[in-house]
Chains A and B, each alone.
Chain A
Amino acid sequence: MEVLKIATAGSVDDGKSTLIGRILYDTKSLTTDKLEAIEKTSKQRGYDYLDFSLATDGLVAEREQGITIDVAHIYFSTKNKSYIIADTPGHVEYTRNMVTGASTSQASIILIDARKGVIEQTNRHFFINNLLRIKDVVVAINKMDLVDYSEEVYNNIKADFEELMSKRDYQGQTISFIPVSALKGDNVVNKSDKMSWYEGESLLEHLEKLDKADIFNVGTPRFPVQYVIRPKTEEYHDYRGYAGKVYGGNLSVGDDVVVLPSQTKSKIKEIYFYDEKFETASRRSSVTITLEDDVNVSRGDMIVKDGDLPTIEKQFTANVCWMDSKQLTPGAKYVVQHGINKVLAKVDTIHHKINPDYSGIEEGVSGLGMNDIAKVSFRLNKPIFYDQFKNHRTNGSFIIIDSQSNSTVGAGFIQ
């Protein structure tokens, strides 16, 4: 099993940090000194329970305000798996951080406060999870202890959420519901004895059962060349190795390939990982490939299988999540980074804004503000080699860089 990355999303006070703290505590992942620090601070503040959120809210501002304002990464492992939790903030203004956290995750946990039920924020969290095509979503209905562990409350929330699900674009997403109390530890790691009406798994039991084959997105093999290795030594005089990471599917020695953008054809001669030769380079491995023919290949080029070409175009339309306080407007120029490839891009048209709470679209918008999501068309100064995001998570996504501030100001998912 590879490392399983999970994004968490929830609104203020839904108890997200407490849930993560609880997972760490019950899986005995908190070390003695960290636990002592939590006990000490909880006591100082006069709490009569352990405040597990102290384990994750790392920045001073967060501890002062009692909220999470940036993505924090938390690590723990069980006998079966290693987990990385991207703990993302739940406030409206941090939609961009939710998108960021979800972009590297294979599964996600959406938290709902049992007393409040499905609220506007829940719509937003679900929308983003669905937009980013997260394969497995767990809806954790939290604070069940505060509603007397009521089955009726759970069922009502589940029904409300199912109504939301009917609006989703990506139907292939698996969604499970689990009633929990993070504070008391019910159904988080251990099954609760207070909700006999619930026959499903605990949250951790569910995560433990997720199967790599089901959950990791696959597509066709794409090999963007990151770096050309030329040792220039006696021994490796004519060696030209193309270093990069394999995305989507596997590549093997003898495969007929095409180098983009030149569209030159060749065959894979060798696949190296360090000093070892392999027959096949598997998905997500960082290998070095050599080709049968002396082809001119440089960084930013892409090696793909013959007959399995991506779209090669100087324009595309995408769903964009805007992440900057400076507006995106038609005609504005940016750098688009697609994988490792950078091109100049001009905003052609903003077709419409998409309200991330499933309340519909907004047409005739003149610009995008921070946290807006919209359908936007771009024109590029040279062609890129892309797939649709729905077919290829890596080769269908890009980031937008402001060439004045050098900041990453947006992310997009190609349609």
Chain B
Amino acid sequence: MHTPFVIYKISIALRREKVKYRILFHAKTQPICVNTLSKSIKTNLGELKKRLPSEDILTYEFETQDKTACAIVYADGIVNKQLLGDLIARPLSKLSLKSAENVEDEIKKTALFPELKIAEDFQKAMEEILDGNSLFLVDGVATGFIAGAKLLPNRAVIEPPTDVTVKGPREGFIEDIKTNMSLIRKRLKTPDLRFETVRVGKRSDTAVSVCWLHGIADEEVKKQITDKLNALQIDNVPDSSYIAALLSPRKHSIFRVIGTTEKPDIFTAKLAEGRVGILVDGSPIALTAPFLLAEDLQSSEDYFVSPFVATSIRFLRCIALFVAILLPAFYVSAQLFKMQLFPLGLMLTIASSVRDIPLSPSLEMFVVLLLLEILKEASIRMPKYVGMSLSVVGALVLGETAVSAGFLSTPAIIIVAFSGICLYTVPNFVETGSLLRWLFLLVAGSVGPFGIVLLGAFVLYYMLSSDCFGAPMLAPFSPLVPHDLRDSIVKYDMLSLKQRPRLFRSKNKTRLRVPNEEKTQGEN
């Protein structure tokens, strides 16, 4: 008799919640499946200890009234122990299991846990324990019971510091995906709101939830996103920015191709427009796709004020953005190549200011801009207590002293300061805007105003030829979608926005119906 030769190759796909096994064997005998839970609680606990040797994995052992051994395995610190004691250990310790006809049913009846699942294999059991749930084992039962007693440390739902509004909702997403999902569900109480969770990260096993409004979002975009997420092979996902970078079809783009928000009201509004959202466990920043550049010019407050005010604010942001990016470059190019750009009076003032400056205009601007960037970076990283000192050093010592020492000119500092302030009118564009400002400064110093125009044309051409998840970056301006211009730089009144943006190809086009409109108009 030849000895059966068994080869096991167990490949565990962690991505989906269902664990897949691929067992290859040559022999005629049945493979020995070491993965399923055994009836013996000792074997099970031993195997679990072997697989989860970490100190924070604890086991609480107790007995039922008829001395049947039971155990709860959990990860310390992320489980509600009181709940486990009250709803599982205490009722079960009073139970007699030997007389029960069906032990599993008896346990389910006794443990009045709202979230109780079954685990039949070690892999599933391990995943649940590591996810913060508890595994409840009973001797003589080859099934584990998963009690959803997760108690993860979470911060409160507060106003996000990066997205502050004067008027409008102040809730912000937090790091817990379940809380974030509930914040969305709170705002969209419709069965059409769908979540599809994908596990990403070989080590982190991070929950990434794709959400969309069924019948409104483009299913093709949703499929593209889930397909990409399923195909991701990464160790760890510390933040949603990882997912954004990995989903991006343009890896080397300096422009954002996926939208971000920390506010559930904005997130749900985008879902209602036909976008697809992505929530990542451990990140308060939610992602939305497709993303249009015009979104950066919009703010949630625009929808809570008069359309005239909103339009003027958006124009202001647009102008501020251009000023932020182009002003230092124009200042340098005007000094070096085209003095006519200045009015005579201003030209004389500038000439007298820069007369004794040892640096060339482009180098001077470079230095001031560098100072601004360093101060900005330092002020973000520096502890709050030192912040005041930084302001003093930055504004007074570096600025004032450098001017009085004749190292830098006042107009250069004014221009950079103004440019820096202007850039923050569009907070989501700060990084890109800052980079563009450097590029424009570089070409302005070398090729003059023509360089600025040329780089402008280059950037525009790059943007107009960029698509992400089927949406052109510069839409609705290029390609022109007249209907969607109503909520771009211009903001029409609410009654003019009855239909969803056409760019997202929603099947359900209407988002607002005013049934009594004609009647009311007639009465008036």
Are A and B associated in one complex?
no
B interface residues (Cβ-Cβ under 8 A, vs A): none
A interface residues (Cβ-Cβ under 8 A, vs B): none
